[in-house]
Structure 1
Amino acid sequence: MSIVKFLNDGNLLNNLHISLTEFRNESRLLKEASSLVKEQVFDKVYVAALHSDDLELNQSCGDNIYVRRFKLFTRGYGKNLIVQLVKYIEYCINICFFYKNKKISCVNVHSLGLLPLGVLLKYFWNVSLVYDAHELETETNGAKGLRKKLSKWLERRLIKHTEMTIVVSDSIADWYSKEYAIQRPPVVLNAPNLRDLKRNNHFREQLGIREDQVILLYQGGLMRGRGVHLILEAFSARSDDKVVAVFMGYGELQKDIQAAAVNNNIFFYPAVAPQVVLEYTASADFGISLIENTCLSYYYCMPNKLFEYAMAGLPVLVSNMKDMSELVTKNQMGAVISDFSAVGINRAIDNFLVQNLSAMKINAYRVACEHAWEVQEQKMLGAYRAIGFSAAPQKVEK
């Protein structure tokens, strides 16, 4: 039974979001928190994250949004299974004691690994539990063999203890509904806020890219499974620098990109804050989202970079993953790459450049506005209302 939000001493109660990240560029969580505070669903939103020496222990992220990064004494003890379990227990204990008197009425967990903690807090604190599934976690590349079986067993049993599960694509919502025989979860897309359509020139000015060169932007995590090496191989094989690739982000493949930047058509730009990322996106000419079909989670994905490109008015090249290729094709906002090879990527780029890019830009921006965070926000607030949480009534001036 859902726990309905109530008033305490004239104040709204609070919301706790728990993440297994260091909370560096978690734009989705930050947008959710900002919307919940702005609409007065909760008085305060707390975010629990992991500490890193280059980040603040305590951070304010706007009105009534407070991040606490927890230092773990066990963090330097290694990464074997036993040590990881000890770290997890230490993190859970820290959270339980730090927030126990913070008037929490709803706990949001942002990964499957935190679902056991979420269920524990639900019953210990008598609060509502929201499972915010950022991907199809049991169907990722890392979910194999015994680990996959245990993950699905855990999710199957614990998901029914939540008041709500939120997912990021329609195919993932359908999968959850069918796989676990639960009500179809609400879909809240990873979309940016509305932005006026305007061009910038940051990359040309800061990287020395010529005005006559066309900029292809890869934006986001620099990790495996995202086609990074394929794009590098493709651009290393191109015979001219008429089209250049800019990689903006951070991750394990950053050094590979920087090494490949000896080519005069490959550039690296470090990740920027979520608040200004679209200002840089709008400095490119078109975007690429080359998710590789290596797992079901990727096949069903709807990456935030797709909507960020579109909100900056960029036509897009995407791989043939189900949901995002359907969106691009249906709305004529780009092209789909089906040949995952350096030759195939270069052929797609060359074909793309002779299309009507002006029409694609208009379509891309229209789609971005139709799916902007202001639209997703209303879907999210409606889902919270369905489990007993709603905006505080406005005070009437006498």
Structure 2
Amino acid sequence: MKIIVSAFSSLYTDQRIEKVCETLYKNGYEIVLIGNDWGGAGEMQRPYQFSRIRHSSSSLKSAYPEFNWKLYKELKKNADKNTILLANDLDALLPNVLISKKLNIPLVFDSHEIFTEMPAIQGRFTQKIWRLLEKRLVPNIRYMMTESQSYAEWFSAKYHVNPVVVRNIPRRITEPVEIPNNNPKIILYQGVINQSRGIPQAILATHFLDNVIFKIVGDGPKRIEYEELVRKENLGNKVEFLGKLIPTELRKITKTADVALSLEENGGVSYLYSLPNKVADSVQARVPLVLINFPEMVRVYHQFKVGELIENHDPKNIADKIKVVLEKGRAFYQPELKKAAAALCWEQEESKIISLFKKVIAENF
């Protein structure tokens, strides 16, 4: 059985798509992966077929329709009666719906987030367009996955769909943990450098911390602005931007941290209800966290005391909680991190994916 997986995404760094494809490939499915070259096309090696749509657009406003049109043609060329379509996020859904109807083949929708509620499009005209598309397409989705229980509840309440929750969490790390004796202590943010991630507040928090280096791993539209903030605040000796890293290199950096941050702001329900993959990445690396008190992170915290919670984004408050973690030390949190690592791993999610696709086959072929 062939599965065509498509996404307006950097296949080079998208860990969720890589893990889903690997799980399906290992279970005997033929995988055809289609992404694009927006934001770059790093060299990749995969055991299955993949391709990236080339863009001529210079802005996202025109890149989205260009991608959707070209994706439609690619799906039409590659799909047949023995195909399952797997669309990742709303920005790749329309061509998949059209081809699904045209060929009468099943479609699985994997919503990595609540796309229409992302901070980057809040209050913009494009948000109205995406909401209209969501309203037209999502209620008719028969098979769906999403990344958190809160997301699933939101989609169910709004569109009466029933998503399977497949958390975006890493594979389990089983090798022994080595706790470094860092001097200065390392604070880590990993992920997209964008608004509503709590990054500027964390930068300002370093004013209240001694003998630390705050490493920011990733790239994004707010990087230049935050680099300027570091210069303005004379924090160049405490804050370091490492840029975008491939997953294997990122994991090496994560293991070296003394404390990791997940301080998302309430820029809409997409962030409020998220379980950022950096939380589980840090858990697998046995690195304690400072977490914002959003539903999914509180859910993890109540199960496993993997760090400390904050209630607001005041820089002094953030610094105080970082101090608590640093003073207790990584060794203090290891028993809870070990228990959390056994639960928050991709191996716990794979059976849900396989069960969903077996159901798709049983009901359609």
Query: Which TM-score applies when normalising by structure 2?
Result: 0.88
Per the alignment, residue 369 of structure 1 pairs with: 342
Q: 2:197 aligns with which of 192, 208, 226?
A: 226
Task: State the alpha-carbon separation in 2 of the partners of residues 54 and 136 from structure 1.
Answer: 24
CA contact (8 A) 2:292 2:310 kept: yes
What residue number does 2:35 align with?
Answer: 49
Distance in 2 (alpha carbons) for counterparts of 1:122 and 1:150: 22
Residue matched to 2:319: 346
| SS state at 1:109 partner | strand
- After TM superposition, the structure 1 = structure 2 runs for residues 262-277 of structure 1, keeping only pairs within 5 Å, are 263-277=236-250
Q: What is residue 247 of structure 1 aligned with on the other side?
A: 216
The structure whose Rg is larger is 1
List aligned pairs for 1:277-288, cutoff 5 A: 277-288=250-261
Q: Match for 1:122 among 100, 115, 119? A: 100
Q: Percent identity?
A: 21
SS in 1 for 2:165: coil
Corresponding letter in the other structure for 1:194: R
Equivalenced residue count is: 358
Counterpart of 1:112 in structure 2 is 90
Q: 1:172 — aligned with what?
A: 151
SS at match of 2:300: helix
Q: Aligned equivalents of 1:223 and 1:123: distance in 2?
A: 36
Number of the residue aligned with 1:27:
15
Confirm or deny: 8 A CA contact 1:128 1:162 kept in the other structure: no
Whether the aligned pair in 2 keeps the contact of 1:60 and 1:66 (CA below 8 Å) is no
Separation in structure 2 between the aligned mates of residue 341 and residue 53 of structure 1, nearest angstrom: 33
Post-superposition Cα deviations, 1:102-155, rounded to whole Å, max 9, x if no partner, equal x75111111212222111110222321011000012222214376445434432
- Amino acid in structure 1 at the alignment position of 2:188: L
SS of residue matched to 2:281: helix
1:36-93 C-alpha deviation (Å, 9 max, x unpaired): 01011x1x2111111259536xx76432x22211123x424x555xx45652454234
Query: Any residues of structure 2 matched to 1:157-236 within 5 Å, and which?
Result: 157-182=136-161, 184-199=162-177, 211-235=182-206
Shift of 1:356: 6.6
1:220-277 deviation digits (Å, cap 9, x = unpaired): 1111111111111111x23632x32111112223334555275322222233222343
Q: Which residue of 1 aligns with 2:51?
A: 68
What is the correspondence of 1:291-330 to structure 2 with a 5 Å cutoff?
291-330=264-303
Q: Structure 1 residues 143, 104: CA separation in 2 closer, same or farther (over 3 Å shift)?
A: farther
Change (3 A) 1:86 1:383: closer
**Mapped contact 1:329–1:335 kept (Cα < 8 A):** no
Whether contact under 8 Å (1:137, 1:143) holds in the other structure is no
| 1:200–1:279 contact (8 Å) kept in structure 2 | no
Question: 1-side partners of 2:332 and 2:260: how far apart?
Answer: 15
Q: Rate the CA distance shift 1:32–1:246 in 2: closer, same or farther, 3 A.
A: same
Q: Tell me if structure 1 keeps the 8 A contact 2:64–2:91.
A: no
Distance 1:106 1:258 in 2: 44
Gaps of 5+ in 2: none
Which is further off, 29-38 or 44-53?
44-53
Structure-2 change in CA distance of 1:389 and 1:359 (3 Å): farther
Aligned 1:73-88 pairs, distance under 5 A: 74-76=56-58, 80=61, 83-84=62-63, 86-88=65-67
Q: Which has the higher helix share?
A: 2
The two structures, once aligned, show a CA RMSD in angstroms of 2.7
Q: Which residue of 2 aligns with 1:332?
A: 305
- Superimposed CA distance per residue, residues 165-184 of structure 1 (whole angstroms, 9 cap, x where no aligned partner): 101011111111111122x3
Within 5 A, what are the aligned runs for 1:79-158?
Answer: 80=61, 83-84=62-63, 86-100=65-79, 105-141=83-119, 142-144=121-123, 147-158=126-137
Give yes or no for contact 2:53–2:67 (8 Å, CA) kept in 1. no
Q: Which amino acid aligns with 1:222?
A: I
